Chain A
Amino acid sequence: MATEKMELVNINGTLPQLDEAIAALLESGSFHMEEGFSRSSGGYKPLNEKNPYSPILKKFSGLCIGLDCEHEKGDKSRCTLTTPEEFEELYKKIYEHYSKLDTKRNELDKHIAQRSEASVQTAHLKGMEEDLSRLFKLEYISVRFGRLPSDNVRKLEYFERNFFFFEFDQDLTFTYGMYVCPKTEKEEIDEIFKTLFFERTRIPDFVKGSASQAHAELQKEIEQGRKDLMLTEQQISELSDKYRAELADACEKLRYLKGAFTLRRKAGTLKDKFLIKGFIPKKDKDKLEDAFRGRDMEVTFLPPDSDSGCKPPTILKNGLLTRPFKMLVGMYGLPTYGGFDPTAFVALTYSLLFGIMFGDLGQGFLIALLSIPVAKKLSKDMGGIMLRCGICSMIFGTLYGSVFGIEDLLDPVFEDAGIDFLPLRAFESTNFILFTAVGIGIFLIVVSMLINIFTSFKRKDIESAVFGANGICGLIFYGSIVFAVVSTMMLDMEVMSTAFVIFLIVIPALCIFCRVPFAIFAKYRQWKLSEHDDKMTVGGFIVENFFEMFEFVLSYISNTMSFLRVGGFVMSHAGMMLVVMTLMEGMSKVGKPIVFVIGNLFVMAMEGMIVAIQIIRLEFYEIFSRFYLSGGKEYVPITSELLKDDI
């Protein structure tokens, strides 16, 4: 339940060696880089330089997209180029071939698009039986067909020019039509319409006849254009096949070089010296030493807390069984370095609670089975959690005797084994289930308080460990009340004596009320009402702590009662499956299996998700809030920094 031990590493050298140092760090793999110019670095400044690999990498990326090979995996070791100039040369070589074909492709695209557009336009001219070629041959008048954004049509009346616009048709955005103007003013009028985003439909000169004849002619041209386009696409594809591997390798190498160069920005520099700071897991220390062996650079290993400017990152250390649950802990926030890692505790409680709330042998088996594709395709951690939850669901499903909602399928098995207290039927043991749920809640709250006491003592926080609502006083107060309620109401024992009330309830409550002054006294041997606010008055102190005390007591009650939902979901699951079974009974022979399958899938999907969310809620609000301190820094090894897009 601890975090991985780290070491602080300082690397010093001269500026020309900086790239070599970064390469060695990348080789070692697990170095977490910090800024070498933080306040504690003594005058070191950041390097502010442009990355020479950025522009060329972008060019390569564009080229890869153009040649449709952007997803090709490359191997940087196969690429021997190193300087931006060398990459530029390779780029030019390939781009020369590509740009010719690309221009041709664009022209064809445009050609087809113009004709397609014209074809759409001529469709809008249907009904105009005038010979189009005759219109274009008019001696003094020019005619233009096309479409104008409808927003701009009303502007036309404001132009004091000689033209007329005739509307033929309209859609949501455009108005289709033609304008006529004197041939002598054609250029100026065309320019005006161009600024109004008039999209001219070019009706080919050779088209003769009516709009419908023009339409047919255009269709022919489009067909030919498509054939030519296919041919060009094929040539581009051949070019892509020829350079695909070389481009992928170059891109991979460029990404590496660009990332490595960007890491220079994290180094601190002073005159011709550089300083790289960072952390490395203690177990990888040898690897780093090996990477720097024989290089003329100074590598110093220090305890992780020896630099006030850098906070060590946190790596959660977990076993195979608990590892997937680090995802849930991470959602709440990482623990600080050296702090308590609750992943194992979450793994245990989450799986158990899921099993209890969603107990069904068959459905649990399906969830466990589903975990395999989820782990492979979506998320490994999510798959791992599903597998563990599925197994717990199967175990509790066996105890409840429930298989895909059929509650009596396992009865003969229990009878044969001579176990008469099983299966545990939800509707026959309602009280038992609800009391057990609250019992589980009390147990988990007490364990959370114990963890808080332990971790608070470890970080020497007396207020939280002894006097806090989740410290020793809180534990005694909560434990005594629970003990008194259980003894009086369930066991008929009278325990509420005066001494019990004074020593186990009133005094701990007073200690919680006065936790701040008591903790200050324990720490500094002086009486103060607040550690940070010197102006705190007695009245202010009482009002503030009265409301806080009220909140504490309320949270003890609400948090305990919150666990009733565990029992509630046991019954809700059984209830929903009962509905499925009842629906099945009303069906024909064919309908029964369909209802059975759909019903089970529906319950699994809906209730499975609700239960999963409810347990996260229990973990975060009822359990974590009692002991967990997040605020840790994520460990980002230098190799994954290379993959960052913004680098």
Chain B
Amino acid sequence: MGFDATVAKIRTVFGTALTEADYREMTNRQSIAELCDYLKGLKRFHDLLIDVEPSTIHRGYLEQLIKKETFLTYRRLIKFQQLDRYEFFRFYIKKAETFQLINFLHMYEAGMNEEYLASVPGYMTEYSKLDLLGLASCHSFEEILTHLKKTEYYKPLKRIMPKDGSEPELARGERALRVHYYKSVLDAAKKELTETEYKEIERLVGTDADLINYTNAYRMKKYFALDKDEIEKRSLPFSRIGIAKMREVYACDEAEDMEQIMDRSVYRNNDPEQTIESRNARARIKAVRHMIELTSSAAAALFAFMMICDIETANLTHIIEGIRYKADLSEIEAQLAV
């Protein structure tokens, strides 16, 4: 697939990503208003925040606007050479939909349908084929399935429904949706991209899954002392370093032993001052940055770039929350992945 102009454009946009100096500037801000002011001064966020009054903006809304900017960047990139006519390039919309569905399942379980309604990003309703807002009116799993009947998410969720018609374990729904997302990305890549491009996407998916699995396994081991079978049952069946290697990680007796195995893999990252999430995000950046710089495939470059954007969004969210709740600067920095 020759979309060199898109690759070049992605690299250009990648060049304007937030730098360590930007993060340092932001973490030094004392209030959300100051931070918003700073973001307003950056070319990337200027247009989006033009009507926003920094001193009265709600932190949640600022976070939502930042996510919106990431989404709009994705839209601009796929529109550049009309890549949206390929199923593969819908991956980021699918990712957002998957996230919203998982979010809904959590809220539904807690009986917070109205809160879910508020949390759906408004811009998503414009681009998603799902009736995301309509989900809020579902009050049983049966109704959820009916609501999703003609969508690709019906089958994976239907599979977790117990035969006796009772309510299923919703954590399984989360896993099913995630697996479906990665599988559909890989299927679309196999169908529409070249063999080399497919391999690159497979590698990125593997990287993403490895680090999600590792973070979850680490938490399950550290806080719930689950055994390896339990952990594996909850893990995603994709890997860059190999399922066997990940099994070695799950089989560790202590969370610290897991760290040692991961430090011997491509995800090595020795910084004791970072949280597990930010260390993993750093490893993710390291892995995908290389891809953006070297690949000639628009699909791989965009997939990798959106992974970086998500990390950037998470960083900004940490900063916003850190400032809002007056967290210590070193605590905020420990959560950042740069």
CA of A645 to CA of B22, assembled, Å = 13
CB of B143, distance to nearest CB on chain A (Å)? 15
Q: Are A159 and B114 in contact (CB under 8 A)?
A: yes
B50, B57, B330, B333, most chain A CB atoms within 10 A: B330
CA of A151 to CA of B328, assembled, Å = 34
CA of A158 to CA of B113, assembled, Å = 11
CB of B120, distance to nearest CB on chain A (Å)? 7
Q: Are B123 and A174 in contact (CB under 8 A)?
A: no
Q: Are A61 and B28 in contact (CB under 8 A)?
A: yes
Q: Are B273 and A151 in contact (CB under 8 A)?
A: no
**Given A66-B30, A149-B61, also A155-B115 (CB < 8 A):** no
Q: Is B121 an interface residue (CB 8 A)?
A: yes
CA of A62 to CA of B31, assembled, Å = 12
Contact partner of B122 among A50, A66, A102, A149, CB < 8 A?
Answer: A149
Q: Is A428 an interface residue (CB 8 A)?
A: no
CA of A441 to CA of B121, assembled, Å = 64
Q: Is B52 an interface residue (CB 8 A)?
A: yes
Interface residues on A, range: 35 or more
Q: Which of A192-200, A231-239, A485-493, A568-576 contacts B (4 or more CB under 8 A)?
A: A192-200
Contacts of B128 in A (CB 8 A): none
* B330 nearest in chain A by CB position: A55
Contacts of A192 in B (CB 8 A): 114, 118
Q: Are A58 and B56 in contact (CB under 8 A)?
A: no
Interface string of B13-52 (1 = CB under 8 A from A): 0000000110010001011010000000000000010111
Contacts of A54 in B (CB 8 A): 330
Q: Are B329 and A154 in contact (CB under 8 A)?
A: no
- Within A106-160, which residues are at the interface with B (CB < 8 Å)? 106, 109-110, 112-114, 116-117, 149-155, 158-159
Interface string of B131-156 (1 = CB under 8 A from A): 00110110000000000000000000
CB of B336, distance to nearest CB on chain A (Å)? 12
- Within B57-71, which residues are at the interface with A (CB < 8 Å)? 57-58, 60-61, 64, 68
Contact partner of B117 among A113, A149, A159, A197, CB < 8 A?
Answer: A159
Q: Is A59 an interface residue (CB 8 A)?
A: yes
Q: Are B51 and A62 in contact (CB under 8 A)?
A: no
CA of A192 to CA of B68, assembled, Å = 21
Contacts of B134 in A (CB 8 A): 158
CA of A192 to CA of B114, assembled, Å = 8
CA of A153 to CA of B125, assembled, Å = 12
Contact partner of A646 among B20, B31, B115, CB < 8 A?
Answer: B20
Q: Is B272 an interface residue (CB 8 A)?
A: yes
Contact partner of B133 among A106, A114, A155, CB < 8 A?
Answer: A155
Contact partner of B272 among A50, A59, A61, A66, CB < 8 A?
Answer: A50
* A56 nearest in chain B by CB position: B330
CA of A475 to CA of B125, assembled, Å = 71
Contacts of B329 in A (CB 8 A): 55, 58-59, 62
CB of A156, distance to nearest CB on chain B (Å)? 10
CB of B75, distance to nearest CB on chain A (Å)? 14
CA of A110 to CA of B32, assembled, Å = 12
* A49 nearest in chain B by CB position: B272
Q: Are B123 and A117 in contact (CB under 8 A)?
A: no
CA of A195 to CA of B55, assembled, Å = 18
Contact partner of B50 among A106, A116, A172, CB < 8 A?
Answer: A172
Q: Are A196 and B118 in contact (CB under 8 A)?
A: yes
B50, B64, B118, most chain A CB atoms within 10 A: B118
- Within B295-338, which residues are at the interface with A (CB < 8 Å)? 328-330, 333
Q: Is B248 an interface residue (CB 8 A)?
A: no
CA of A646 to CA of B20, assembled, Å = 9
CB of B314, distance to nearest CB on chain A (Å)? 20
* A51 nearest in chain B by CB position: B273
* B331 nearest in chain A by CB position: A55
Q: Are A62 and B30 in contact (CB under 8 A)?
A: yes
Q: Are B33 and A109 in contact (CB under 8 A)?
A: yes
Q: Is B53 an interface residue (CB 8 A)?
A: yes
Q: Are A155 and B328 in contact (CB under 8 A)?
A: no
CA of A22 to CA of B51, assembled, Å = 53
Contact partner of B55 among A48, A113, A149, A159, CB < 8 A?
Answer: A113
Q: Are B53 and A117 in contact (CB under 8 A)?
A: yes
Q: Are B114 and A197 in contact (CB under 8 A)?
A: no
* B120 nearest in chain A by CB position: A155
Q: Are B122 and A55 in contact (CB under 8 A)?
A: no
A55, A109, A149, A645, most chain B CB atoms within 10 A: A149
Q: A113-B55, A151-B68, A173-B51 are in contact. List 15 more A-B contacts (CB 8 A).
A: A62-B329, A65-B30, A66-B30, A109-B33, A109-B55, A112-B55, A151-B121, A151-B123, A152-B118, A155-B118, A158-B134, A172-B51, A195-B118, A195-B119, A199-B57
Q: Which residues does A use to contact B, with CB under 8 Å?
A: 48, 50, 54-55, 58-59, 61-62, 65-66, 102, 106, 109-110, 112-114, 116-117, 149-155, 158-159, 171-174, 192, 195-197, 199, 645-646
Q: Which 10 pairs from chain A and chain B are nearest by CB?
A: A151-B122, A113-B55, A195-B118, A58-B329, A197-B61, A173-B51, A55-B330, A158-B133, A152-B122, A197-B58
- 13 interchain pairs (CB within 8 A)? A50-B272, A55-B329, A55-B330, A58-B328, A58-B329, A109-B33, A149-B61, A154-B125, A172-B50, A174-B51, A196-B118, A197-B64, A199-B56
